[in-house]
Chains A and B, each alone.
Chain A
Amino acid sequence: MIKEFINYLSSPLYSFTGVMAFFFFTVKRPDIVGSKKFGLISLVSILVIFGWMLTDPVFFSVISLPDNIPIIILNAVVLWSWWFAIHKGVENDKRIAAGEGPLEGTPENREKVWAWPNLVYTELFAGIACTVFLIVWAIFFKAPLEEPANPTWAPNPAKAPWYFLGLQEMLVYFDPWMAGVVLPGIILVGLILLPFIDTNPKGNGYFTFAERKFAISGFMFGWIVLWIFLIQVGTFLRGPNWTFYGPFEYWDAHKVVAENNINLSEIMWIKLFNTGLPKNIILREIFGILLTGFYLVGIVPIITKKWGHKFLKDMGTIRYYLLIFLILSAASLPIKMYLRWFINLKYIVAMPEFELNL
């Protein structure tokens, strides 16, 4: 009963919305999430719930795959660092608000030490510890070798390496050109551009949240929600035929999910106007083209007028428009996901004739 409820709640629509809601709560009230009490309660409840979930044979069989163990480590590390950063940031924000300056800036914390031996020894031992860990891991968990590759057969489900599963999950909602080339390209270029766009010296060398609220929450939304969470979905909740399965649901290859997806052109011309698709490609896709144009160009002055004029003044034209472009590109992923879930939208602009779909 309760397992069925969890299965139901973990469907992409609810779990993605839940993770987004929790993320925005974290950003809105870091003082609650970053408190020691909250950290302790969530640590204990995560351990208890995870332990209880492990007793389920289906969940255990998915979680204990050798491929999936790095993701459990990743979850622990990401959750811990995210909470720790907020905790430290909130602590410092209180001190800064009281006029004391960050904890890292106090005289006893500003003492300097030599790189040799202090840093080099630490690095040496960290390196040895990592090697030992990897060797022990390699001994206990064998590499999942399969039969020789066959170009006319694919395993079901066919999963990418664990660090790319977020990307693979993204591909469910986009054309391969978009989710495989354009968006990852924008992610890479965006990461390279970060030091150019963000020239704010605050938060340099000390934890803070209040001083860098927009920068931290913007970056962490892309990292936690759009990358880490999608890796979870791709790893634990996608089974045969890339169909969605709840954490306690048996991976039945014959699970039938109706997901008839249609393009925006079909919604407009066939459902709304009842005329059938026009022959001319541009005319057929005119709504999608207009919508995309509005999203990438037309919406920018509106954002600028409502929220952006202060940023525009502080950052200068080039930095500001680069930032807006990056934000719009990142936001296109959740928008497309919700459109898929709510109106079964396949592509906003669909031109398979030119291998171009948005």
Chain B
Amino acid sequence: MSEELKTSLNRREFFSFLAVGWITFGAAVSGLLSFVFRYLYPNVVFEPAMDFIAGFPDQYPEGVDERWKNGFGVWIYKKDGKFVALSNICTHLGCIPTWLPAENKFKCPCHGSGYYANGINFEGPAPRPLERYKVSLNPEGKVIVDKTKVYRYEKGEWTNPEAFIDV
């Protein structure tokens, strides 16, 4: 073995250097990318909680109540002894409909979908009724609206006992 060969790399050494180099490079890049990924998520999220306590059911008048619409995106609808929580997201393209008390309907400002007070779609392009959220009573007798569970009319879920409260 001559001195000359010692200074250069043999085949095995070359590949191990290559592997170490690539692994280091890959780790550095993925570390940097993980920072970028983390940056994409906000530090503080000002989102309303997914469930909230909505008070006693007898505090609500008959018909549509808008008091939780701006904070939580929920309409309370009470009619014929049934208490339900309607989602305020249009089933057509996700706009926020407006409640028109004079016409007794919800009307979407984006493409003109219309819903009756109970959430059933009847005009415009909306393909299905508004979704309903899970409502239940806590031990005090107050209503808890849970937006993580939705009930869809076209799937026959509105008859589910969790989708309404008898009052």
Residues of A that sit less than 8 Å from B by CB? 150-158, 168, 171-176, 180, 240-243, 253-254, 256, 258-261, 346-347, 350, 352-353, 355, 357
Contact = CB atoms under 8 A, between A and B. Distances in A.
Interface in B97-137: 97-98, 100, 102-103, 107-112, 114, 122-125, 127-128
A346 B123 CA distance: 8
Contact of A346 (B97, B110, B111, B125): B125
B154 interface: yes
Contacts of B69: 152
Most chain B C-beta atoms within 10 Å of own C-beta, residue among A150, A258, A261: A261
Contact of A347 (B111, B123, B127, B155): B127
Interface of B: 47, 69-73, 88, 91-93, 95-98, 100, 102-103, 107-112, 114, 122-125, 127-128, 154-155
B109 A175 contact: no
Contacts of A152: 69-73, 88, 96
A261 B123 contact: yes
Q: What does DSSP make chain B's interface, helix, strand, loop or mixed?
A: loop
A211 B109 CA distance: 46
B111 A171 contact: yes
B98 A156 contact: yes
Contacts of B154: 352-353
Contact of B107 (A171, A173, A241, A347): A241
Contacts of A150: 70
Contact of B93 (A171, A240, A254): A171
B92 A352 contact: no
Given A168-B111, A346-B127, A357-B127, 19 more contacts: A152-B71, A152-B72, A152-B73, A158-B110, A171-B111, A175-B125, A241-B100, A241-B109, A241-B112, A242-B109, A242-B111, A242-B124, A259-B123, A261-B122, A261-B123, A261-B124, A346-B125, A350-B127, A353-B155
Contacts of B112: 172, 241-243, 259
Nearest to A347: B127
B73 A180 contact: no
B127 A259 contact: no
Contacts of A258: 123
